[in-house]
Amino acid sequence: MDAKPKAAGKSSFGHIDQDLAFDSIIVGPRATYLDLGCGAGLYALSLSRRLKAGSMIYALDLWEDGIAALAESARREGLGNIEPMVADLSQPLQLDAGSIDAAYMATVLHDLPESARPGLIAEVSRVLVPGGRFSIIEFKKLDHGPGPSMDKRIGSDDAEQLVAPSGFVQDGVAELGEFTYIARYIKP
């Protein structure tokens, strides 16, 4: 993968119903979260503000400048529960098995090479606790609006096919706005 990912600096954050998204992602005020492909950290920062002391968010991205920007924003806001980490999502995650309560990817999956997706999903399953939640936010399969070209979009049925081999059970799909959705899965 490139040192600067294709969509580095872009975010879907302005295209979602943030309350609905975080209501779907949050499993408890004192849980451990994993933000996969965090970019400059808009999702991680917003999640951190919604959680109580004792929570932790590991925010991973290959984009070093984004990780640096997230670290600076978290420091400036006094958000000590975010651990920004440079990480290549096509490689094994440097986290212990069963160490994460909830993981999420916000409009990142479509940018990963198709060959890397199964390995990443398996890694998410490995790091989640039994009963842990995995949420995928993606652009709907529409031929207009923001987001990737139609041939790169991952609809909710496509997401289901990607996560099912790793044992995830779908817990719901909800629209987050005109262009986005969230699909929620549980690790048995």
Domain locations in the chain as residue ranges: 13-186
Q: Which residues contact 1 (CB under 8 A, 6 or more apart)?
A: 62, 88, 89, 90, 113, 116
State which fold the 13-186 domain adopts.
Rossmann fold (3.40.50)
**Cα–Cα distance between 176 and 173 in angstroms, integer?**
10
Cα 13 from Cα 7, distance rounded (Å): 13
Whether 77 and 46 have beta carbons less than 8 Å apart is answered as: no
pLDDT per position as a tens digit, 12-65: 777 678 999 999 999 987 899 999 999 999 999 999 999 988 999 999 999 999
Q: Checking DSSP bridges between strand 100-106 and strand 128-139, what pairing results, if any?
A: parallel
Strand partners for 186: 133, 169
pLDDT digit string (tens) for the chain, length 188 residues: 345 555 555 567 776 789 999 999 999 878 999 999 999 999 999 999 999 889 999 999 999 999 999 999 999 999 999 999 999 999 999 999 999 999 999 999 999 999 999 999 999 999 999 999 999 999 999 888 888 888 899 999 999 999 999 999 999 999 999 999 999 999 99
Q: Give the sign of the dihedral formed by CA 60, CA 5, CA 182, CA 185.
A: negative
Strand-by-strand arrangement of the 128-139 sheet: 82-86, 56-61, 32-36, 100-106, 128-139, 180-186, 169-175
pTM: 0.92
What confidence score (pLDDT) does residue 170 get?
A: 96
Report the C-alpha gap between 39 and 9 in whole angstroms: 6
